[in-house]
Amino acid sequence: MLSKIPIKSPADIELMRQACQATADILDAVGDIIKPGVRTEDINSFVHQMTLELGASPSPLNYKGFPKSVCTSINDVVCHGVPSPFVVLKEGDIINVDVTSFKSGFHGDSSRMYFVGGKEACSKEAVELVETTHHCLHIGIKEVAPGKRIGDIGAAIQDYIKEQGKGYGVVREYTGHGIGREFHEPPQVVHVGRRGSGEIMRPGMTFTIEPMINAGTRETDLSKIDGWTVRTKDGSLSAQWEHTVLVTEKGCEILTASKRFPAI
């Protein structure tokens, strides 16, 4: 049975790098404005304007009706938080900013966590969750190589969280995904799983890895008000980190890697 996962040509990959670099540059810059008193609508305006200045367009805007150019998810919001002029950042908040840029015919998707007021302003629980989730992202990325299976990514993340013994929940309803000419393509990249399951990774495949880890249970609730915002069911904190990656002949390339902050 033939795989439905698109394989990008060298020319495709070069163009895709442009979209991914735009996304990384935006996430580098937006961190400078995240501070107490800033509205999530201000973040949306900043991301929208910078995206246009970089010769790109914001992929989330009007995607399946999403009304904004970026997702801003604070504290117990797992993902898809809708920017608002009425939501103001407070010292000690943690926030995920999820940016996807469309440029040169391709999408580049990445998200990062930020500590509002600095790490020292946030609770020990929040800092540990954010740092553990960041580690989960890189554990998943280390599993990316030709000949391995998509399920190996989620299995590695799931095993790591279990080993920590902190009672964290790994979100299952919202996953990583293939990306390229389309915002969402095959495969689905679930952040739990069984080694040796899923399709075989092949050079030229591009997809996101974006673990969402809850400080409490893995259960989530979708807002009945806006139809987008996803929160933890038990009100616990949630964190997410995301990169777009490319399967190479020898392993993996992080397409949305930051030049300003190499560790991100």
Domain boundaries, the chain: 10-254
Q: What per-residue confidence (pLDDT) applies to 112?
A: 98
Nearest to 168 by CA among 239, 222, 103, 113: 239
pTM for this one? Answer: 0.97
Tokens for 168?
């964290």
* Structure confidence at residue 2 (pLDDT): 57
Query: Maximum CA pair distance of the chain?
Result: 54
Residue type for 97, please?
V
Angle at which helices 151-164 and 124-142 pack, to 10 degrees?
Answer: 150
107, 22 Cβ separation under 8 angstroms: no
Q: What is the pLDDT of residue 26?
A: 98
Instruction: Spell out, as residue ranges, where the chain has pLDDT lower than 50.
Output: 1
**What SS3 state is found at 120?**
helix
Overall residue count recorded for the chain in this entry:
264
Amino acid 249: pLDDT: 97
Residue for token pair 């914001």:
58
- The CATH class of 10-254 is alpha beta
